Each structure stands twice: as structure tokens, then as C-alpha cells.
Amino acid sequence: MSTTVEPVERNGVRNYAIVTLAYWADTLADGAIRTLVLFFFYQLGYSALQVASLFLFYEVFGIVTNLCGGYLGSRFGLKSTLFMGLGTQLVALSMLAWMPPSTLTVAYVMASQALSGIAKDLTKMSSKSAVKLVAGDSQGRLFKWVALLTGSKNALKGVGFFLGSLMLSTLGFQASVWSFAGLVAVAMLLAAVLMRGGLGEANKKAKFAHMFSDNRAVNILAVARLFLFGARDVWFVVAVPVFLSSVLGWKFWQAGGFMALWVIGYGAVQAFAPVLIRRKTADGTKEPDGHTALWLAFTLALFPAGIAAALFFKLNATVAVVAGLILFGIVFALNSSVHSYLILAYTDRDKVAMNVGIYYMANACGRLAGTILSGLLYQIGLRSSANGGLVLCLLASAGFVLTAALLSLGLPERKAQADSCITQ
């Protein structure tokens, strides 16, 4: 794997900044619509499992998009996939905005969410891949830029969660959706006007079969990512917001506000991950490696298990859930940031879009599993007690994280070892 430091070209930085701003706008809208849909249908009397089913196609099509998006990004360039993503998000939002809320059906919302999932993953793949192209192979700069992009994205997604719940209470469903459709339209227009040239070179010889990496480190990391994000969404998507509202009696804007602050804080920790993780590796660098992902995952597993134990023994539920999830968010953010760095460190420039696509396909698989289990396990657990639903989801979360930790045992301890993991 090449270690040459590539120069940062002015046009490349300009275009990367534009891609990032467009990604931020899409992220804000995506987070808001997700909260709007969740609380709007929950207040109509839908069960936890029914609410979870609304996001089923969002995650399923995210898997397909990440698989195909890496190929499309390699073959046609990242600029093309960016505009595909923004355009698709605009269509998804318009579907919800045009229809009176009283006429919305589960199938219709699932279709809209499917398009939203496609849009989100196309813009994410474009932006994350662009980091490698602009930052080059300078490991210190790469880690800082990846951490900043990922952290800022998640902070804005948290703002979207809060805005979605707040605007549902003040403006109503339809007016809120129109507002975010306008935001995406403006971002798409500005990107079209301001971007100069392309972002990366299109490789017309790229083949779909090349999507499947022969890099062992990339493949192990992708599977570990699946379990890491399954561990988050098994409680995050349905279980915790429903628990806060139905068991603890929080209002929608309060539950949405907590979820928003959690994601904003999680994003802030990600952005500062290079400062917070100062582990000197065997080759004298301070960048994280496979061992970093390993110990972070083992530490992370303690928190969902601890919260579940506190709820089972009927300790103060508010303190246990709020404090426990804040601590979970800090360690999860560091672990996620390390993963996002490692996938770019392990891959070559000419394969970045494809390897990032495979990595985020695994990410989407984890979210899909977590989404389904969040509604299903919560509903099953309610049969035992009011706290039982969340307890079951948290135990599943702990099991997922432990699996991610065990998989991380196979990751190289130093980035330079990634080459030795390639099988021909």
C-alpha cells in the first residue's frame, strides 16, 4: 500500500467542502424526517414493531445502495453519486410533503423511506470517499479529516432529531417536511453552481465484481462494523424513544431532544477523537489500529449490560438510562471514529469508493438488524414488565458489541500490516 503523501489541490479542497456542505444538509433533513415519522405514527397508536417496520425499507435499500454506490462512484465519479443522492432525497421528501398526513399509509411511507435511505447512503459514500482523495495517504491528516467529517455529520443529525420533534409539535407534519425539502433543494442548487470540475476520476474499467474486496482487514472491519451499529440501533431506533415517552412519561419534544443531544454529543466526541485517542503504536505513530478498536469494543459492552441490570433490579430508571446512554455514546463515538479511519487507512486510492461501499453496506446491514430487533424485542419484553422491553434490547446490544470485539481480534495492530492481510 502506497505511503506517498499526495498534495492537497485547491480545486479538490473546494469541491470536497461543497460535497461536505451538501452532505450536512442531507443529514439534517434525514434526521428530522426520521423523528417526524417515528413520533407521528406512534401518536396515531402504532405499536413499537409497526413503527420499526416503517424504517425497514430505509435500511434494506441502504444495503443495496452501498453495494451498488461504490461501483457507481468508481465508474462515474463521486460528483455523479452526490447529485443522485440529493435528487433522490428531494423526491422522497416531496412524496411525504404532497400527501395530506391523514391519507398516509404504512406502505407509502415505507416507499418514501426507501428512497430516503438510498439518498442518504449515496451522499455519505460520496463524501466519505472524497476524504481519501483530498487528504491523500497522510495518516495524521486522514484521521483528523475523517473524524471531523463524521463528528460534524452526526452532530447535525442530532440537530435534525430535535428539529423534527419540535417542528412536529409546532408546525405540524406537512409544513415540517416541506421545510426540509426546501433545504435539500437549496443545497443541490448551490452544489451545482459552485462545484468546479469533478471529484476524483471516473474509472470506466471498474467492474461490479471488484466490489468484493480481497483485503482481509477490510472484510473483517466491515463485519465488525455490522455488529457495532446493530448494537446501537437495537435500542436507539424504537426502544429508547418509546420507553422515554410511554414508561417515563416524557413529551415527544423531550424524548426527541434527548436523542438529539445524545447524537450531537456523540458527534462532538467523534470530531475530537484524534485528541482523545493518543495511543502510540508499535511503528511510532499516534494513529489508531486494530488493537484500539478491540479495547474500545470490550469497554463499550459494559454499558448496555450495566443499564439492563439497573432496570432489571428496579433502580432509578431515568438516571440509569440517561447516564448509561451518555457513557455508551462517548465510547461508541470513539469506536465508530476509529472504524471510519481504519477503512480508509486499509484501502488504496484506486479502490476507495468500492471498499467504502462494502464497509457501509455492512453498516446498513447492522442498522437493519438493529431496527427490526428494536421493535420486536421491545414488544416481546413488555410481556414481562414495563422495563422488560428495553432490558431485552440492551442485552442484545451487549451481545452485539462483544461480537464486534471478538472480530476485532483479527484486525492488524498497525496500518502497515494491512498489506500482509491481502490474499490474492
pLDDT digits (tens, 9 = 90+) for 345-362: 887 665 666 677 778 788
Using CA atoms of 54, 340, 129, 73 in order, give the dihedral in degrees to the nearest 10: -40
Is residue 312 included in any domain, yes or no?
yes
What is the three-class DSSP state of 314? coil
Which cell numbers hold the place of 4? 506517498
Is residue 165 included in any domain, yes or no?
yes
Nearest CA to 55 out of 114, 138, 134 is that of 114
What is the three-class DSSP state of 422? strand
Q: Given this model, what pLDDT does residue 133 score?
A: 64
Which cell numbers hold the place of 179? 421545510
20 to each of 1, 14, 63, 83, 215, how far by Cα in Å?
A: 27, 10, 22, 13, 28
CB atoms within 10 A of CB 137: 18
pLDDT digits (tens, 9 = 90+) for 71-125: 666 666 677 788 888 999 999 999 988 888 888 888 888 889 889 888 888 887 7
Within 237-348, where are the H helices? 239-246, 252-271, 273-276, 290-300, 302-312, 317-346
Write the DSSP symbol of residue 187. H
Q: Chunked in runs of 10, what are the mean pLDDT values of the chain (424 residues)?
A: 43 72 88 85 77 80 75 69 88 90 84 88 76 60 71 80 84 89 92 72 50 72 92 89 87 81 84 72 62 92 95 92 93 90 75 71 87 88 84 95 93 55 34
CA distance 350 to 55: 34
CB atoms within 10 A of CB 363: 25
Give strand pairing partners of 422.
Answer: 215
Q: Given this model, what pLDDT does residue 70 score?
A: 63
Is residue 5 included in any domain, yes or no?
no
Is residue 3 included in any domain, yes or no?
no
Q: With contact defined as beta carbons under 8 Å apart, do 30 and 157 qualify? A: yes
408 to each of 144, 221, 224, 358, how far by Cα in Å?
A: 22, 7, 7, 17
Range of the domain at 280: 10-421
**275 burial via Cβ count (<10 Å: 0-12, 13-18, 19+):** exposed
Q: With contact defined as beta carbons under 8 Å apart, do 391 and 414 qualify? A: no
Q: Using only the alpha carbons of the chain, give its radius of gyration.
A: 21
**Domain count across the chain:** 1
Q: Given this model, what pLDDT does residue 307 score?
A: 95
Q: With contact defined as beta carbons under 8 Å apart, do 301 and 401 qualify? A: yes
CA distance 144 to 40: 38
Question: Biggest alpha carbon distance in the chain?
Answer: 61
Q: What is the CATH number of the domain that holds 265?
A: 1.20.1250.20
CA distance 95 to 112: 6
